[in-house]
Structure 1
Amino acid sequence: MGIGTKDQMERNRQLVLYTGTDANRTYSRNLAKWRDALDRAKAITAGVAPSSLRLEHVLSRTPSLPERIPRNEDDTLKGYSVWSGRVDNDCPCTRKCEPDEVCLLGTKHPVICTISTTSNFATWDGTRHNGIALLVLGWAYVLTADLAERRGQELEYLDQPRVDRGGDPTLQLVRLDYATARERVWWNRLLGDLAYGVKGEQASPWTVQTENFGVFFADNNGNTATDSPPTPPPSAREAAVFVSRFCRSLGLGSQCTAALAVALTLPLRSSAKRSASVTIELPALCLPEAVGPAGEFVIDDAAVAVQPPPEFALLGRFMALSINPLIFGPALWSAFWAPGVPCNYSAAWTRAVHRILEPILSAGDLALFAKVMACISEDLAPLWLGMALGGSSGMANKVLTYLADVVPYPAARPSMTAAAWTGVPNSFLDVHPPGPHVRPNGCVSRAQVWRLRHDFHTVYEDGPTNFPRMPPLGWPPFGTMREEDVELELRRHLRCNHQWTYEGWTWRPGTDVDKGLPDLSGARTKARSTVAIPRRARTVRIPHKHLKSIRTASKTVTEHIFWWANSQVEKGMGGTIVQPIPSGRQTADAGGSPTRPASFNPERIRAWRDDVVQKNWAARH
């Protein structure tokens, strides 16, 4: 057989493996699903889908940050999830704890907030005013102040108070006739370069800086608020009341909830760049010249709130979900994943989404984008609204790149914690199909073996493996393997049919288990409408211009999924997807990949190479 013939056979094999008839069916099913979502999104007459404003539905089983967070040298907070398991036999393994999640409590680069020059979200249903940008600043302060209080720290104003800007023609002067002098000072301070913080400490994950907001607040005589004598910053609760009063006084309605959704995205946005600040563009402001009993926009005294917004009661839970990008990110990206799609068809699945979203994001129509995402997942709709309200800078490119190439972004890596907290799976490891798992022919699906490898990662004695961490992408390995090819450490569990249930969360160094709020989870289940994936969608061919990129991307995803199990490649699979590391040798670190292992050991690589060469020679002779 000639070399050319071998090359052609390999090309044909890859065509079938990554872009065959089943890939076309996968592409068609998802294209039909997202087209349906687009049609329903266009039919929504309101500016924002109603589900996007039910922020509490995101929480499901999310724990609250601890009331007291102990200080430590690395400025982190750690915790772990607790799971109980149902089995079909007398297996004693009915409880497991996932590895620790680490939350960073500070950032070196606060997010920069500017005002958008586009018309995205400039108008809002039910009101002629728009104050979302200012409400985002208010919520960012509330989150920062609450974290400082839990850590026993004192928040201070860090910049100098603003001088009288009443004569500045570049600023809109807004009279807050209803507000106290302390409130006006606070709002004006939020518009400073670096308004507040804990001296000597890193900025909180929700800290923001402002640029070009073009507004300043004054009293009912038109005098700008001064801070003489100096007043301390408000507590988190006081600031939340200020936010509520501002929102009610201007009749901003649901903008308060929408602004909190934006604030919750700040740690994720900040993590996108480790060496510089990220800039977001908030909706254009539309404010009256005066607000209050004596002002242009007259309000009823009874309408001025004295209580914080209702979301404040759940603030600790919102903070827990928001503070760790490696939990918040996977919750977002789960909207692009679905169970039942194997890794070798993953790019066919995501390319269908790209076909729908690319024209929308390229046109900068973020309002329509948010509606489409709400039609795809009502549970995640508020998070995507928060992303859309921050403008398309960076976000649109990341989404489209992921959908085109299935790039394994760190913040998109599957998280079992994110799935447990939000109730939305983001990986095949979150899905536990009913048993029995060993089929009559003595085979078991690779996906089930991969699940067991993660669930029982502590049983391996040959050194570190990738198994404590989730695979880098949520798509399951294809096919089955023989029972005798499953490693001895797991073989006893093949017939246990472990069905794991999330019990709750424990923050270190404590021992209490936070089970979340079942009432929230139940309410969300009643309000949720299931988005069905069409099973009999008309099959369309993948556009020829995308075949090569889909094949390349699906092949890369498949290599990543099989690389995760590189220490346990079964007989007959060596060299097909990823070759195994010799038994008894240290496996690649969990942070590695098929193209770039986390640690490079020349001796190990040479031994691996020699072993592969020897096996290949033996197979031919």
Structure 2
Amino acid sequence: MTSHTCRIRRWVSTGENIFETDFEESKAVASTTGTTEKIQDAPVGKTATISQHTAETPSESSTSDESLVDLNSEPKNVDLLFGCEGDILIPSSDQIHCTFLKCRSIWRTYVTCANLLPSGCVPIGSLDPYILLQKIPPLPQDVPRKQSITGEAIWHVACPELLKSQVDSEYNEEDWDPEFVHGNKKIFPLSILKPTECRISSRSDFRLNNGRPNGIAILTSLWSYIFSVRLLELQKRQIRYSLKRLSPVLIKDVESQPRDIVIYLGCASRKLTRWLCAVLASGLGWQVTGPLPPWTTHYEENTRFIIATDTPFSFLAHERPPSSCEAADLLTELCTLFDFGSSLTDHEKSFETLQQPTAAFLAALVLPFYNKMGLQPQLPMPSMTTVHRGHATPPGYIRDYIDDLPYYMTLSIHPPSVGSIIWSIFWEPGLDCNLVSAWFGSILEVVRPIVEAGNLEVLAKIFMARRQSPALLWFGIFVLGDYEFLDKIVSYLETHDEQLGGSLSWPDVDVAAWTGSKQSFLDEDALGSYEDIFAQVPRSDLLRHRFNFRLNDFDMPRFGWQPFGHVIKHEIEPELWPRLETRCSRKYKHWIWWLPAKDKNGVRLVPEVIVPDIQRGFRRDKVKHTKSIPGQVELDSTIAEIPGGFDCKVMLGPSRDATFHIMSYGSKDAAGDRSLEAMVIPRIREHSWMLDSRGI
């Protein structure tokens, strides 16, 4: 926790506007004393302390002060998870230790992979944004001039309880088909109140090999402009240059100060020069009537760029800013001038130097999420003293990004979708919810030294080794360079929430289908079919079928971890039996945008009529560009035996909270009736972890 935050907390609590670390420590101690009790029904000698949990106010339990610890010290005054043999919810000590050791082995391998990569280099093809575009729908070709846009997914869920002959004869698919189910509606914001202010920071950890110029800070601003203008084009809104602009100077007349950033353009085109004068100005160098797009940025007042040219430059009256396609050509021109395109290194063909246009593209992609999190981009100091001519190859992929920008924009403008992807980097398929503490604790042990060192580049490479789709967005977040996000990683691994007040993003089945990257046990197919009345049905399958049975219910699990244990089939509600017997699963069909209707002249109807705009997704629209997701490397994490005397200290919170929330989620049966007994766990209400379940 920053000293600034501590001071605010003391001021709010005591009225004293001074900073004392003892204040936060005393609060942490107070919050963990006097609220512990023994686990009920635990064997003699096997106890675990817990903090009371309030379902109605999860932020008070899952993001309490004791969870936000100093990165330079071990956690103090926190409740730890201890194993219990035979407990209905708490895992055994052997389960905790095996999970911890397995996870540590896996994540240490990721660290080894990251350390093998030279600075400024990434594995071939690892920064390919097209991996994200599996079934993502594009923004509509005619985006309404509103604050937001609404859409929903259509899923195919087989209904074996209905005879096929009955479905074919009674239902017309064009009108309604019971096997095509609407998901929950999502609202996508189309604007922000004010531009995101960027800074230049000398602390940025992203470096480049071979003495190449570093222009990520400039390229990110140019991409933010392109994203913004593309949305305005879809809304049929005109953009113009504002009065804020840089004034180019002749290179011979440059008198720079130590912190000045000189961009020598030589004899670059006047359109490129004019564009840079607007985008890099202190303040917004372009303007539009109405709300600003979510990617709008400008540099703070203290950031001073100097545009240097070989010939005098004069501004033209009524000159229009470039369109998104024209800006793509200007961006390509700039990349060619300074050799910002990627190429293989000579000494190692399995690596490639950092693709700066792609790195900046990913940074612009997560700008709305960054803004939502209250973070400030702090981009690396540009180094552009030498102009390369003649030998540089224009990066052709820039044009591809522009052509397919509406697909990327759908994901980008919805911060919870981005959040659901990035936090899935820590989710592990097959891991039971009550073992999350051991999993998170092991990850934190491995990455803590890297987090403490603030090494964003190595952390990004670790995530690349872990899981491809989330790593792409993490890379963009790290490029933007606000080190406060490291605190959020630690907070998430300690409390299961990245910030005070709870998590911004929960697992999202729509986004998992869009990207092809699973985030939750609900994204996995059923494990089997269960015909016998006494069959043992995994609770994970039970909850999958309940979810599919009431797909448009607004209830969603807060975390992606699976429930543990089995249920005898005859104890499950009969409505689900046909589905349990056929192993039917949910399949994504398409996306629907709900848009205002227009008459034949293109004028919106009054009163407003909403009509569907069906989008099949990127893979269906542009098969030739579809990139498959690399399979996750299978690591040998077998634990032969637990070393003698081994004991891991892991926080209680993540396991307890994940278990509480999955039990609460699973308490709603297929008919929508809510009762904790629906989880079919004897005496679950008596358990200490479920003290706040009385309303369920």
TM range, normalised to the smaller chain? 0.7 to 0.9
Counterpart check, 1:36 vs 2:122: no
Q: 2:308 aligns with which of 193, 208, 218?
A: 218
Q: Contact 1:68–1:150 at 8 Å: present in 2 too?
A: yes
Counterpart check, 1:402 vs 2:475: no
How does the TM-score come out when normalised to structure 1? 0.81
Query: 1:192-591 counterparts in 2 under 5 A?
Result: 192-196=281-285, 199-211=288-300, 212-221=302-311, 223=312, 225-253=313-341, 254-273=355-374, 278-288=375-385, 297-300=387-390, 308-407=398-497, 409-437=502-530, 441-457=534-550, 467-487=553-573, 489-509=575-595, 510-517=612-619, 524-525=627-628, 528-540=630-642, 544=647, 546-547=649-650, 549=651, 551-566=652-667, 567-570=674-677, 573=681, 576=684
| Change in 2 beyond 3 A, CA 1:515/1:298 | closer
Displacement of 1:198 in angstroms is 5.2
Deviation larger for 395-404 or 256-265: 395-404
Q: 2:198 corresponds to which residue?
A: 113
Deviation larger for 323-332 or 529-538: 529-538
- Alignment: residue pair count: 559
**C-alpha deviations, 1:3-50, integer Å up to 9, x for none?**
989686598375321452112222222211111111111112352323
Distance (Å, rounded) in 2 between the aligned partners of 1:205 and 1:151? 14
| Change in 2 beyond 3 A, CA 1:196/1:202 | farther
Deviation larger for 181-190 or 195-204: 195-204
Q: 1:187 corresponds to which residue?
A: 276
Distance (Å, rounded) in 1 between the aligned partners of 2:521 and 2:534? 23
| Change in 2 beyond 3 A, CA 1:25/1:114 | same
Q: Contact 2:261–2:382 at 8 Å: present in 1 too?
A: no
Displacement of 1:552 in angstroms is 2.9
Q: Contact 1:26–1:345 at 8 Å: present in 2 too?
A: yes
Deviation larger for 567-576 or 325-334: 567-576
Q: 2:135 corresponds to which residue?
A: 61
Q: Contact 2:421–2:470 at 8 Å: present in 1 too?
A: yes
| Change in 2 beyond 3 A, CA 1:4/1:25 | closer
Displacement of 1:305 in angstroms is 8.2
Q: 2:152 corresponds to which residue?
A: 80
Displacement of 1:403 in angstroms is 1.4
Displacement of 1:458 in angstroms is 6.5
Q: Contact 2:197–2:298 at 8 Å: present in 1 too?
A: yes
Q: 1:144 aligns with which of 203, 228, 244?
A: 228
Distance (Å, rounded) in 2 between the aligned partners of 1:193 and 1:177? 23
Q: Output the amino acid matched with 1:220.
A: D
Counterpart check, 1:175 vs 2:264: yes
Distance (Å, rounded) in 2 between the aligned partners of 1:113 and 1:390? 9
Q: Output the amino acid matched with 1:385.
A: F
**C-alpha deviations, 1:63-114, integer Å up to 9, x for none?**
2111111234xx1111122222457774765322211121101112433221
Displacement of 1:261 in angstroms is 0.7
Distance (Å, rounded) in 1 between the aligned partners of 2:428 and 2:421? 13
Q: Contact 1:414–1:427 at 8 Å: present in 2 too?
A: yes
| Change in 2 beyond 3 A, CA 1:10/1:260 | farther
**C-alpha deviations, 1:551-595, integer Å up to 9, x for none?**
23201111111122341322664862699xxxxxxxxxxxxx989
Q: Contact 1:181–1:219 at 8 Å: present in 2 too?
A: no
| Change in 2 beyond 3 A, CA 1:101/1:127 | farther
| Identity in percent | 24
Q: 2:120 corresponds to which residue?
A: 47
Deviation larger for 515-524 or 246-255: 515-524
CA RMSD of aligned residues (A): 3.3
| Change in 2 beyond 3 A, CA 1:382/1:220 | same
Q: 1:97 aligns with which of 182, 198, 208?
A: 182
Distance (Å, rounded) in 1 between the aligned partners of 2:278 and 2:179? 54
Distance (Å, rounded) in 2 between the aligned partners of 1:60 and 1:4? 49
| Change in 2 beyond 3 A, CA 1:546/1:302 | closer
Distance (Å, rounded) in 2 between the aligned partners of 1:307 and 1:358? 36
| Change in 2 beyond 3 A, CA 1:23/1:197 | farther
Q: Contact 1:562–1:577 at 8 Å: present in 2 too?
A: no
Q: Contact 2:280–2:299 at 8 Å: present in 1 too?
A: yes
| Change in 2 beyond 3 A, CA 1:174/1:130 | same
| Change in 2 beyond 3 A, CA 1:304/1:177 | farther
| Change in 2 beyond 3 A, CA 1:546/1:271 | same
Displacement of 1:395 in angstroms is 1.5
Q: Output the amino acid matched with 2:276.
A: W
Structure 2: gaps spanning 5 or more residues: 1-36, 49-82, 85-89, 168-177, 342-354, 596-611, 668-673
Distance (Å, rounded) in 2 between the aligned partners of 1:329 and 1:5? 34
Structure 1: gaps spanning 5 or more residues: 289-295, 460-466, 580-592, 597-604, 613-621
SS of match in other structure, 1:493: helix
Deviation larger for 562-571 or 278-287: 562-571
Q: Contact 1:563–1:578 at 8 Å: present in 2 too?
A: no
| Change in 2 beyond 3 A, CA 1:130/1:575 | same
| Change in 2 beyond 3 A, CA 1:445/1:66 | same
SS of match in other structure, 2:224: helix
Q: Output the amino acid matched with 1:229.
A: A
Displacement of 1:306 in angstroms is 10
Displacement of 1:342 in angstroms is 1.1
Give 4+ residue runs of structure 1 displaced > 6 Å after superposition. 304-307, 519-522, 593-596
Displacement of 1:282 in angstroms is 1.2
Q: Contact 1:127–1:252 at 8 Å: present in 2 too?
A: no
Displacement of 1:178 in angstroms is 3.5
Displacement of 1:379 in angstroms is 3.5
Deviation larger for 24-33 or 480-489: 480-489
Deviation larger for 171-180 or 335-344: 171-180
Q: Output the amino acid matched with 2:337.
A: S
Q: Output the amino acid matched with 2:235.
A: R
Distance (Å, rounded) in 2 between the aligned partners of 1:237 and 1:23? 54
